[in-house]
Structure formats: C-alpha cells, structure tokens
Structure 1
Amino acid sequence: MIVYVVSHPEVRVDPLVPVPQWQLSAAGQERVQRLVAMPWARSAGFVASSAERKALQTAQAMAEASGCRVHVDAELGENDRSATGFVPPQEFEALADAFFAEPERSVLGWETALDAQQRIVRAVDRVLELARPAVGTRDGGSVVLATHGGVGTLLQCALRGVAISRRFDQPGQGSWYSFDSVTRQVAQGWQRL
C-alpha cells in the first residue's frame, strides 16, 4: 500500500479558541480543494485523521472525494502543547526549534519530540493494520493520513531512520509526502499542495 501523509492546510488562528478546535481558513479550504483533485486523493481506500478539527476537515473532504469514511485516531494528533496553550507565531517558532533540537527534553511542559514520535509510529502501525482489508478491495487504493506538520515530520524521521530534526519539516501548512507501507521507504520529501 502507498500511504500519503497530508498536513492540514492554513487555519483560522484564534487565541481565544483552544488550538485543537481551530478550523481551516478560507485559504486552507481552497488548498483542500486542490488536494481532493489529485488522482491519489480520489482513489483512497482508507482515510484516517487526528481528532483535531483542522485535520478532520481535511480528512472529511478526502473521504467524500474517495467514497470512504474517516477513521479517527487521537494519537495522530500534534505533540501535546497544552502546558502553554496558544503561543504567538514568533515565539512558537522558537519553541518548535527547541522541540526538534532536543527531542528528549520537554519544552515548557510540552510532550517531548521523542515521546510524540513513538506515539505517532504506534498510531500509524495501528491505522495501517485497520486499513489493509479496506484498501485491498479498492483497485489502486491507498491510505491517507490527514494530520499535522509536526506529526508528519516526526514520522518521516522515523521512516528514514534518522535523528529527529526540523530539517525534515514541511515547507508550509498543506503539504504531503508518501511512503510504502511494507518497505517504509519515503518516496519523496514534503510537497506543497
């Protein structure tokens, strides 16, 4: 099976709303329309998502385009940053740099990058086991994981067998890459939608 890892596109940032409840912005919704027009998106045999609203909106559009239902796995969610809640963009980037630079250390109470990576790999393994019967019945079907940039980055580092590094981060919200579910080989790095 080919597995496509998709990060949700741009969101409507609202400091008064908990981050997991943020939804796609108009630009993000437009980018999702480009996503569902891709042939691999329309032929998906299984779509899984984190429980966060922005990822769910992305997954639901993919599921509608391919005739699937969305499987939700909360462990596909972004690293737990509830200790800080909303952080202004410039400060967030500095914290994210520290998160990736020291994967075994908690940044201001955040889940460590190493703990998040282990959780994500377990979730992906679980999703792929659930997907096998559904994808096996679809000609050319694939699996789509609608999730977050940090999740995709940590997963890609694990798939490549390299140390956690922000060097493998997405070029922007609304990006994707694919890997083979058997060999775990990444076909190419992040591509922008």
Structure 2
Amino acid sequence: MPLIVRYLTHPQVVMEPGKDVRQWSLNPIGAARVSALAARPGCLSRTRRVISSHEAKALETARPLALALGADLEIRPGMHENDRSATGFLPPAEFEKVADAFFAKPLDSIRGWETAADAQRRIVSEVDDCLAGPQDGDILFVGHGGVGTLLFCALSGVGIDRRFDQGPGGGGCWFQFGLRDRKPKQGWQPMEDLTNGGEKQTGQGSGEA
C-alpha cells in the first residue's frame, strides 16, 4: 500500500499579545479538537512518524497524537512558522493586511518579516530531509498555516498565492501527498475528516489562521 504523508496545522490558540507568539498555547477548543482526534485517529492509524515544529502550539498538537499512535515524535525547529519577530504581535486586522502582502510579494521582506520565498525554501528543505531514505509507515508533519501553504504551493507546482491558504476558522487543517510522487491529492480539509477516513474532498480556502 503506498505510503502517505500528511501536513496538519495546529488548531485554535489563545492569543496573548504580551507573549512571544512562538509560545502561544492551544485554547480549549483547539485542545478539544486534538483530544478528539487522538481518541479516534482514523486514517492516521498507519502513521509511524510524527514530525513537529518546536513552537508550543504545534507540540501541543503533535504530542497527544504521537502518544495515541505509538509513533516516534521528532522535533524540527526549522519547521517554525514564517519569522514575524520584526513586528511581534499585530492586531488581527493589521496582521491580515501584512499577511496579504507577504503572500503577494514573496521576494520582499514585508515590515522585516522573513520573505515568503525564503520560508518556502526552508519548509521544503525540512520536509525533503525528513523524507529522505526508507520509511516504514505513513508520516505526519505538524506545523503552521503560513509555511504549510507555502509547502502546498511548492508541491502543487503553483506560484505562491494566498488563495491556497487553509482558510478561516482557526487552523486545524491538513492535506496529504504520496511519499513517491509528492503531489497533494486534495486541498485543505478539517482535522475532523481524519477521523472519518479523510475521504471528503474540499477545495482551497482563503485567509490565514
């Protein structure tokens, strides 16, 4: 049976303006969604590796899933979200405008942010490194909406564009691709569809969570 690679974004978080965004935690809704998936992992049952960004919200998503699956948990600091430390926290409306520019001008550093082109090269390199060599089961990457979208665009052979983002709703979405062909089979889907077998096909959304 062909091996499947999935990329899952962390779900809803507690927004704490005075705290480094990399240390934000899942909120009760996000944590409950992770717990529900861990209790009924569905099509994740063949997963043997869970590979996570080192940011708190990603680890709070990855750890319960790895434990439930009896899978190894690997932490890759290079899978972090696009570096936005130059601005720190931005109010939601302002963040959306800057994020729009981030995707629209991938070669430019918007207000000191890591460029989309650089972030895309980084996440693609991380995934390639992790998938090099033989694998003994499906692989689950756990990360973030911004770099996840950049990965989706690279694997799909399309230019960087925010219309391929996971859409509104706070995150907790995934897409998958074959280990060999590295081509996404569908757009972003809610994590609840993993419990149902991941069969629902949905298109790409817009917006960033």
Task: Give TM-score scaled by structure 2 length.
Answer: 0.86
Aligned to 1:170: 166
- Residue 129 of structure 1 deviates from its aligned partner by 2.2
Answer yes or no: is 1:146 the counterpart of 2:142.
yes
Bigger mean CA deviation after superposition, 15-24 or 39-48: 39-48
Aligned to 1:24: 26
Q: Secondary structure at the match of 1:29?
A: helix
- Residue 33 of structure 1 deviates from its aligned partner by 2.2
The one-letter amino acid of 1:75's match is G
Match of 1:15 among 17, 22, 29: 17
What CA distance in whole angstroms lies between the structure 1 residues aligned with 2:18 and 2:25? Answer: 13
Aligned to 1:69: 72
Task: Give TM-score scaled by structure 1 length.
Answer: 0.93
Aligned to 2:99: 96
The one-letter amino acid of 2:111's match is L
Match of 2:129 among 126, 129, 143: 126
Report if the CA contact (8 A) 2:7-2:140 is conserved: yes
Q: Tell me the number of residue pairs that the alignment of Structure 1 and Structure 2 aligns.
A: 186
What CA distance in whole angstroms lies between the structure 2 residues aligned with 1:174 and 1:35? Answer: 11
What CA distance in whole angstroms lies between the structure 2 residues aligned with 1:111 and 1:174? Answer: 23
Q: Percent identity?
A: 49
Q: Secondary structure at the match of 1:182?
A: coil
Report if the CA contact (8 A) 1:10-1:25 is conserved: yes
Report if the CA contact (8 A) 1:8-1:148 is conserved: yes
Report if the CA contact (8 A) 1:35-1:41 is conserved: no
Report if the CA contact (8 A) 1:42-1:65 is conserved: no
- Residue 16 of structure 1 deviates from its aligned partner by 1.2
Bigger mean CA deviation after superposition, 26-35 or 11-20: 26-35
Report if the CA contact (8 A) 1:5-1:147 is conserved: yes
- Residue 68 of structure 1 deviates from its aligned partner by 1.5
Aligned to 2:207: none
The one-letter amino acid of 2:189's match is Q
Query: Where has structure 1 moved over 4 Å in runs of 4 or more?
Result: none
The gaps in structure 2 that reach 5 residues or longer are 192-209
What CA distance in whole angstroms lies between the structure 1 residues aligned with 2:162 and 2:78? Answer: 21
- Residue 164 of structure 1 deviates from its aligned partner by 0.2
What CA distance in whole angstroms lies between the structure 1 residues aligned with 2:190 and 2:156? Answer: 20
Aligned to 2:184: 186
Bigger mean CA deviation after superposition, 115-124 or 32-41: 32-41
The gaps in structure 1 that reach 5 residues or longer are none
- Residue 181 of structure 1 deviates from its aligned partner by 1.7
What CA distance in whole angstroms lies between the structure 1 residues aligned with 2:82 and 2:12? Answer: 18
What CA distance in whole angstroms lies between the structure 1 residues aligned with 2:139 and 2:34? Answer: 17
- Residue 125 of structure 1 deviates from its aligned partner by 0.6
The one-letter amino acid of 2:65's match is M
Q: What RMSD over aligned residues (CA atoms) do the two structures have, in Å?
A: 1.2
